[in-house]
Amino acid sequence: MQGKLTTVRSKMEKPNVTSLGIHLKVKDINKSRKFYESLGFKTTFVYGSEEFKSTFDKNIATAPENYPGITYKVGDTTIEISEDHIGIKDKSVFQEMIKSSKVSAVVHVSSLASLFSNPLVEIKVPVRHYYWGTIEAVFRDPDGFVLVFIAPYSDEEFAKISKLTKIEKITK
């Protein structure tokens, strides 16, 4: 039996993965919307009531649904936020704060500077310059989801960020 199963698995085709998305279950869609849009995330799809959908640009694709949700496009990746989902039976998950940093989203940006003028971003750990050539800032969204913003290291970026906050240097 073991050999037969191995044979079947070795002949299985792999899926053609074209992108990856994250679906965040949020407590307050409007608070999360304000947060993600303040970071420059671009709305590509909205669902919910007519009233909710009417608060977005008319060129954005929409669908009717009993609960509100927004999809943001980030390169080839999407982040979707919603206050409910038909596939989730335990609705208390939407009220939970994420306390663990076991899972995080990595967001590549050209510069970290705009984070320091954003009143919705609270960076509570040191900004770090890593020896592999990045400067990184870590913070949480309104539901506690960890976001790691990564900018490529340059002397100019280091000088710019150093004027805004202390940078911890991480070496091997």
Whose tokens are 């989203």? That residue is 105
Same domain, 120 and 67: no
124 within a domain of the structure (yes/no): yes
Question: Final residue of a domain: which of 69, 95, 121?
Answer: 95
Question: Final residue of a domain: which of 76, 95, 114?
Answer: 95
Assign 169 to helix, strand or coil: strand
Same domain, 61 and 130: no
Same domain, 65 and 88: yes
Same domain, 157 and 90: no
Residue-number span of the structural domain to which 109 is assigned = 97-172
Please state whether 95 falls in left (phi above 0), alpha (psi between -120 and 50) or beta: alpha
Same domain, 103 and 87: no
Calculate mean pLDDT across residues 42-55.
97
| pLDDT of amino acid 68 | 98
Question: Final residue of a domain: which of 34, 63, 95?
Answer: 95
pLDDT above 70: residue 4 = no
Q: Per the structure, how many domains does the chain have?
A: 2
7 within a domain of the structure (yes/no): no
| Rounded-to-integer distance, Cα 80 and Cα 90, Å | 19
What is the pTM for the complete model shown? 0.88
| Rounded-to-integer distance, Cα 139 and Cα 124, Å | 7
The pLDDT-based confidence of 11 (bands split at 50, 70, 90) is confident
The enclosing domain of 127 has a CATH number of 3.10.180.10
